[in-house]
Structure 1
Amino acid sequence: MSKSNAQFQPLDSGLVPRFAGLPTFMRLPIARPDEVDIALVGVPFDGGTTNRTGARHGPREIRNQSSLVRRVHHVTGLSPFDRIKAGDCGDAPINPLDLMESLDRIRDFFAQIHAARTRPLTAGGDHLITLPILRALASKGPVGLIHFDAHSDTYDSFFGNRYNHGTPFRRAIEEGLLDPKRMIQIGIRGAISDASNYDFARDAGVRIVFIEEFAERGVKPVMDEARKLVGDKPTYVTFDIDALDPSIAPGTGTPEIGGITTREAQALVRLLDGIDIIGADLVEVSPPLDPTGATALAGATLMFELLCVMASSAGRN
C-alpha cells in the first residue's frame, strides 16, 4: 500500500465492526473529488419514475449493504483500494419537487467531479440520473455506452413528459452525448406497449441484445462483441438492477421476469476490464420494495465489481 493511498482505505472490520462507523460506500472515508481517483457518489432521486417509486432511497441502503464488501477481489486478487484512491464524495444535490432543476443540479455536481479529473462511480436513483451525468462527462463529444438493463430506455415520452427513466438514452443520443453506433444494451426483455418501441434505437444503430440471445450465446461472446463495439475510446457503463431477475433483486421499480443472475452479472462486469471507462453507475434499487436488503446488497456488490475493473484499468495507464 502506497503512502498516497494510506488515508483512503476502508475501515478495518477487525477493529471496527461492520455495523459500526459512518455508513459510507464500502466503509471508505468521506472525501472531496479532487482528493481521489474514483469518487463514489449517490444521486437520491426518483423524480423520473413512472410507476413504483423508492429509488431515491437507493444510495443510502446501498451504502449500508456495502459494509459487507471486503478489500480483495477473490478471483483477480486485486485490492482496488491499494491500486487507486477512492472515497465517498457524498450525494448530488436535488430538488424532489422540481425535475428539471434536479437535472441541472446533478449535471453541475458531476461537472465538478469531471473538472477534478476524477471518475465517478454512482449509486442511483432512477435511470434518468444517467442523462445529467452524461451531460457533465461527455461535454466535449459523444462517448460509447455499455448498458445492462431489462429496458432500452429510448422511448420518446411518458404522460407527455420527455424526461423520465424510460427516455434518458434517447435524449442523450439527441443531445450528442452518446455515439449510438458505440452503444450496446444487454439483457433487454419483457412485453412492450407498442411494436415500434425499439424503432428509434435500431434506426440510430444501437445494438440490442435481448435476453434470449444472451442466454443462447453466453457471457463471453456477448462481452467480446461489446468490447469490440466500444473499442478503445471513452465509454460509460450503466447497470440497471432490473437487468437481474426479480427472484434475485425484487426491490426495483419495473421488474421483468426471466433476467440475468447475479453470477452472470459479475462475469459480465469483470469482462469490462481494460475498457476506457470514464464513469459508471448502478441504478433503480428501491429499498422500500425489498425490506430484506438483498437487492441493495446485489447493487453494492456489483459496484465493487465495477470499482475493481475501473481500478485495474487505471493501474495500466
Structure 2
Amino acid sequence: MTNYLKPAGKAVFKDSYVTKMNELLVDSDGQKRRYGLIGAPLSKPSISHSGAAFAPSAIRQAMGSYSTYSKEISHDFNENHVTDFGDVDMHPTDIVESQERIYHATKSVLEQEEAEQLIVLGGDHSVSFPSIKAHHEKYGTIGVIQFDAHHDLRNLEDGGPTNGTPFRRSIERGVLKGEHIVQIGIRDFTNAKGYDDYVNEQGVTVYTMEDVYENRISDLIEKSLKILENKVDLIYLSVDMDVLDQAYAPGCPAIGPGGMDSYTLMKAVEKAAQHDKVNAIDIVEIDPTIDFRNMTSRVAAHVIFSYWKGKVLG
C-alpha cells in the first residue's frame, strides 16, 4: 500500500512536462558552468528600515513559480544549470566586516572560475561596492549600468558606508571612474542638488525617468553600451529594484511614484545582456517582510530570466 508521504515541503504537484526555474540551481561541485549565484544578505547599512537580508532566499523561492521555457524565443533553459554558491555569512554587528566578507567571497568564487558570470542577490545596495571591487580586481576596468531611482553617491562622512554610498565609495577607492557609470531611471524629488553636482563633476551619465518615458528603453540601453564598450573590460549591471514604480515593487524600502514598469526593466536587462561585455549583475533592495504576495521578488526572478534570455539572443 502506498502511504503517499514525502519529505516535508516536497509534497507538491509535479507536472512531468514542466521544469521550474529554481530546479536549475545546483550546489557547487567543481563543474564549470556559465552562471553562478551568490546571496549577499546584508541590510544593516540601510538608511531606512530594511529586511533586505531576507531577499536572496525570497528570490530563489520566487524562481520556483516559473517554468524554464521562453515562448518568446522558443528556448528551454531546462539544461542550463546554475551553480548556487550559497549566502555569505554576515557578521552580526560589524557592517564593514560584513561588506569585506562579501568582497572576499565574491573574489574567491571569481578566482575558482567555476562560473563564467555571477549573479549577486542582495541585500541592500551597499553590497554592490564589494562585488564590483572583486570584479575590478579580476577583470580590470569595470563599467556599470545602474538601474535606480537614486544616484547612491551620498557622502560617507554623514553615515559611513550605507546603502546610499556604493558608487561614491567605488569612485573614491579607485574601483570605478565616474565616466564609467551610466544611471537609468533616476527619479524627480529623490536626490539632492549636491549629488547632482557631484554627478556632473565626475562625468556620470544620467538618464532620468523622463528620459525613459520619452525614449524607447532599447535606444537608451544602446546609448549606454556605446558609452562604455570601448572604455572598459567588463560591464556590470546593478539593478536597484526601487527603480520600479511603487505599484510594481511594494517590497522596496524606498518606494515612490513615477518609476519604471516591470516589463520595461526586464526588456532593458534583456537588451543589455546581449552585449558580450555585460558579464555580471546584482539585484538589490527588496524587503520581503513588507512585500505583497512576493510581488517584488517575482519581478527580481524575472530580471534574472531576462538576463539569461538576453545572453541567448546575443
| Alignment equivalent of 2:196, drawn from 191, 195, 198 | 198
Larger Rg: 2
Distance 1:133 1:169 in 2: 12
| Alignment equivalent of 1:54, drawn from 51, 55, 62 | 51
Partner of 2:252: 252
Q: Does 1:73 align with 2:70?
A: yes
Partner of 2:148: 149
The Cα shift of 1:199 comes to 1.7
Q: Specify the code of the residue in structure 1 equivalent to 2:142.
A: V
Question: Conserved in 2, the CA contact under 8 Å of 1:28 and 1:88?
Answer: no
SS state at 1:145 partner: strand
Distance 2:172 2:29 in 1: 29
Please list the CA deviations of residues 173-219 of structure 1 after superposition, one character each: whole Å capped at 9, or x if unmatched. Answer: 12222232222100000314632122222211110111011111221
Distance 1:71 1:13 in 2: 14
SS state at 1:177 partner: coil
| Alignment equivalent of 1:176, drawn from 168, 174, 177 | 174
Q: Specify the code of the residue in structure 2 equivalent to 1:173.
A: I
The Cα shift of 1:28 comes to 2.4
Question: Conserved in 2, the CA contact under 8 Å of 1:33 and 1:89?
Answer: no
Q: Specify the code of the residue in structure 2 equivalent to 1:63.
A: R
CA change 1:177–1:283 in 2 (3 A) is same
| Alignment equivalent of 1:41, drawn from 22, 38, 41 | 38
Distance 2:297 2:127 in 1: 18
CA change 1:298–1:130 in 2 (3 A) is same
Distance 1:34 1:180 in 2: 37
Partner of 1:266: 266
Question: Conserved in 2, the CA contact under 8 Å of 1:42 and 1:90?
Answer: yes
SS state at 1:258 partner: coil
Q: Specify the code of the residue in structure 1 equivalent to 2:43.
A: D
CA change 1:16–1:67 in 2 (3 A) is farther
CA change 1:225–1:190 in 2 (3 A) is same
Distance 1:301 1:192 in 2: 26
Partner of 1:288: 289
Please list the CA deviations of residues 146-176 of structure 1 after superposition, one character each: whole Å capped at 9, or x if unmatched. Answer: 1101111011137x32301100001111222
CA change 1:81–1:110 in 2 (3 A) is farther
Question: Conserved in 2, the CA contact under 8 Å of 1:18 and 1:68?
Answer: no
Partner of 2:307: 306
Q: Any runs of at least 4 consecutive aligned residues in structure 1 with deviations exceeding 3 A, and if so which?
A: 15-19, 78-82, 310-313
SS state at 1:103 partner: helix
The Cα shift of 1:79 comes to 3.5
Question: Conserved in 1, the CA contact under 8 Å of 2:179 and 2:204?
Answer: yes
